[in-house]
Chain A
Amino acid sequence: MASRGIKDQVVIIGMGCTKFGEHWDKSVDDMLIEAAHAAYESAGVQQDDVDAFWFGTLGSAVSGLALSRALKIDYKPVTRVENMCATGSEAFRNAAYAVASGAFDVVMAIGVEKLKDNGMSGLVGAPLPDDGTKSQLTAPASFSLLAPAYADKYGVDRAEMKEVMARIAWKNHYNGARNPRAQFQKEVSMEKITNAPLIAGDLGIYDCSGVSDGSAAAILCRAEDAHKYTDNPLYVKALSFTAGPAAGPIDPDYDYTTFHEVAACAADAYAQAGVTNPRAEIAMAEVHDCFTPTELVLMEDLGFAERGMGWKEVLAGTFDLDGELPVNPDGGLKSFGHPIGASGLRMLFECWLQLRQEAPADRQIKSVTEGGKTLGMTHNLGGAPGECVSFASIVGSQPG
């Protein structure tokens, strides 16, 4: 199997990200214009300088035309991209390969989602005609299956498991409180999280990421052209994507304590980037905390904690903003919100700020400013345990 990577061949030269939240007053077009123009300004380019676009949205628009219509793009290629909740990352991944190929010089990856126009509670899909036999479990219910399986396998009792999940929610709200772009900007106490009404399994309202509207964009070029735009590009070191056979719900060998797709994806990303000790080398990670047990399991699948030990590391504060390996320093899906098409790009936006030391002081990561670490990781997942796709990127402020 060939996955050769394009380490250090492509850089990000500018990014934009709207505030995420319930934007009753903003349409999809409004948010696309805001994110795109913020990215142009960040990169010091005009729209005409961009040669091609990758436009990610799960269900808020159809066709690349939706982007070119909104931005009044003149006859450039626009690819509409979708890969469930990994859509934003997928747009970025494809844009990067295109500019690396030499076919284009400057490209944009942009993602958007408008979830709050449908008036529904929680995420709703657009069902295709089928035989009526598919499981109707909601997203929180599907991910809540991880918790009893993990607790049972590793001997964590129910109350402790609830505490671990709450600690993750607490951390992400703490971080979001320090982020003016986040949907939720208040710290939430452990007590409030633990006592919140249950949605599915042992997941309460605070264990579930925010349903919100938002957009984010990145502008990329080949590394050798970076100097035309900035002294401070962000290097793309690894881009990995895995789509699994969706064996989980049909194969008794799957035990609901891991995402095989993520483990494979992370291994490929580390190989591409030449990372051998993620815990030591990665300064920060933005991971897919759609629900709190997801983030817990990801710590192990991404190699940040030993199998079965993730829960202890969570409680020890390893992944806190001031911990050894800050996870979701911008608040994550949990408090930044999860406008699906934008999330993968929003994760890269935090890396863009943190690794180039442009993050607000109250959440700037010390291992970057003082510890000399240069690498960040983003991880984005789409689907459900046992039946998902996974994306991972590694970016860094320095080549090599």
Chain B
Amino acid sequence: MRGIVGYGAYVPYYRLQRSAIGAALGAGGGSGTRAVAAYDEDATSMSVEAARSLIRSFGRSAPTPDALYFASATPPYLDKTNANAIHAALSLPSGVFSADMVGSARSTTAALTAALNDQRPVMITASDVRSGRPSSADEANMGDAAVALLIGSDVDGPVIAEWLGGASATGEFLDRWRQPGWDYSRVWEERFGESIYLPLVTEAATAAFKETEISAGSVDAAVVTGMHARAVRGAARAAGIGDDTPIADDLSTEVGTTGSSHSLLVLASVLDKAEPGQIIMVVNLVDGCDVNFFRTTDAIADYAPHKTIESQIANGNDSLTYQTFLTWRGFLDREPPRRPDPAPPAAPPSSRMVKWKYGFHGSRDRESGAIHLPPQRVSVKGGNVDDMELVPMADVEAKVTTFTIDRLAYSLSPPTVGVIIDFDGGGRFKAELTDVEPDEVQVGMRVQMTFRRLMTADGVHNYFWKAIPVR
């Protein structure tokens, strides 16, 4: 049996109320909220959080994949493999292959298909940071998120959702496009796209039903998503899905259409609540139509997601202002303080310190037991030299010992909250606290680590870890 062995989803903390757009511009916006990746997040950092969530969902140690694919329509780098940063953040062995499948949201389907057709355990992550020009439909209706799936066979861990097969239909048509460097995509007028998509949906669904010998009546839940809202609305019917078949909430009211991660995000939300023995039909409309069938197994009853999508939606913060949203997305070029531009991280030290910078490993002195962040060679207790072992600290919680609000430091979203945090079981770190309002911070607050993009300088993304409140 082959299929989904594990999954993790990440919905960022911030939400923008759509009405804020209309209030500011007199156009655009809508109702509900959309999820917003913070100024210090991107498709790579969110993928790390989704993958960590996947790994932490295993009650025991998670199976190590043999390959990792990163799928995104908004990759932070071109000509540098973004997946390698995720590989490093998860401290995967160097023998694990990692590669990007990037370009459009259909890249996720490519990654999923490659994983499902492989013999080995394969992890895929999918994530986009999505926006559009102010007052556009994309701006209001898109959202930011990430999902990680571990695909494998029974030898890799109990399969919780068996893959039953599927089919595709492809056509070349101009519906949505973006040049590298553009902040937004352009779309053709939507009635054209609908007229092309729906026949492709019918074709793919028909072929998929035939190929798998599943009947429309035996589908227990349908996940219908895509990059053309109007076509998606007509897709269930075009696919021949029964009127009685529940169509999963596509999370567009609170989260939005999340591009590369959307199909898997909605699938994950179904799996969060699924019973064993349910057939799930996944229909995705991106430059064609791809249909896949999964059936949940008995093992899904024992799978406890580290964080359900519902809980992440409930814990969101919708007080984000529209001007902050525009600033974070680069549409408002605001006056910075008179401080030097940040310097990019240098390649050799970043490479020497990869287990710290990406993997957040400290070192523990064997003689005294003292934990050092960053890792050291000489122990701060007892002065012992070169008797250290690396210890992974990213999943250890900490408390705030003292803090400050720095209104002078350079930041993409000032002020900077600086905290001294002491980890459970030992170790101290001078960190930046993010996803928090300054007046929320108190001595004694519980925090956990999160992987973020600190800033970009000279085109180099500076990835590292920050702390966030435990919520």
- Chain A residues within 8 Å of B, Cβ to Cβ: 119-122, 124, 127, 129-133, 135-138, 140-142, 144-145, 148-149, 152, 198-201, 245, 247, 249-252, 254-256
Contact = CB atoms under 8 A, between A and B. Distances in A.
Contacts of A142: 404, 418
30 contacts: A129-B348, A130-B346, A131-B346, A131-B353, A131-B356, A131-B357, A132-B350, A132-B464, A133-B357, A133-B464, A135-B418, A136-B342, A137-B409, A137-B430, A141-B409, A142-B418, A145-B418, A149-B402, A200-B404, A200-B408, A201-B404, A245-B380, A250-B373, A250-B376, A250-B380, A252-B422, A252-B426, A254-B428, A255-B401, A256-B402
Given A131-B357, A132-B350, A137-B416, A252 B401 contact: yes
Q: Lowest 4 A-B CB distances belong to which pairs?
A: A132-B345, A129-B346, A141-B406, A201-B404
Among A119, A199, A247, A252, residue most surrounded by chain B Cβ atoms (within 10 Å): A252
Nearest to B426: A252
A151 to B, nearest CB: 10
Contacts of A131: 345-346, 349-350, 352-353, 356-357
Contacts of B403: 145, 148
Q: For the side of the interface on B, what is the size category?
A: 35 or more
Contacts of B322: none
Contact of A199 (B407, B410, B454): B407
Interface in B356-392: 356-357, 370, 372-374, 376, 380-381
A136 B409 contact: yes
B409 A133 contact: no
B102 to A, nearest CB: 24
A198 B407 CA distance: 7
Contact of B404 (A120, A137, A251): A137
Among B342, B409, B431, residue most surrounded by chain A Cβ atoms (within 10 Å): B409
Contacts of B372: 250
Contacts of A152: 443
Contacts of B350: 131-132
A140 B406 contact: yes
A136 B344 CA distance: 13
Contacts of A256: 401-402, 420
A195 to B, nearest CB: 16
Nearest to B370: A251
A269 B33 CA distance: 64
Contacts of A138: 406, 408-409
Nearest to B444: A152
B338 interface: yes
A205 to B, nearest CB: 10
Interface string B428-466: 111110000000000100000000001000000010100
Among A198, A201, A250, residue most surrounded by chain B Cβ atoms (within 10 Å): A250
A132 B443 CA distance: 27
Contacts of A129: 343, 346, 348-349
Contacts of A149: 401-402
B340 interface: yes
A133 B353 contact: yes
Nearest to B352: A131
Contacts of A119: 338
A251 B432 contact: no
Contact of A247 (B344, B380, B454): B380
Contacts of B343: 127, 129
Contact of A120 (B338, B409, B418): B338
Among A129, A140, A199, residue most surrounded by chain B Cβ atoms (within 10 Å): A129
Contacts of B337: 121
A256 B374 CA distance: 19
Nearest to B350: A131
Given A201-B405, A249-B428, A250-B380, A141 B339 contact: no
Contacts of A199: 407-408
A50 B113 CA distance: 81
A200 B415 CA distance: 9
A145 B402 contact: yes
B390 to A, nearest CB: 15
A124 B376 CA distance: 27
Contact of A141 (B344, B349, B418, B426): B418
Nearest to A197: B407
Contacts of B340: 120, 124
Contacts of A120: 338-340
B157 interface: no
A251 B338 CA distance: 33
B369 to A, nearest CB: 12
Given A135-B432, A137-B406, A145 B352 contact: no
Nearest to B345: A132
A198 B405 CA distance: 9
B160 to A, nearest CB: 37
Contacts of A252: 401, 422, 426-428
A254 B356 CA distance: 23
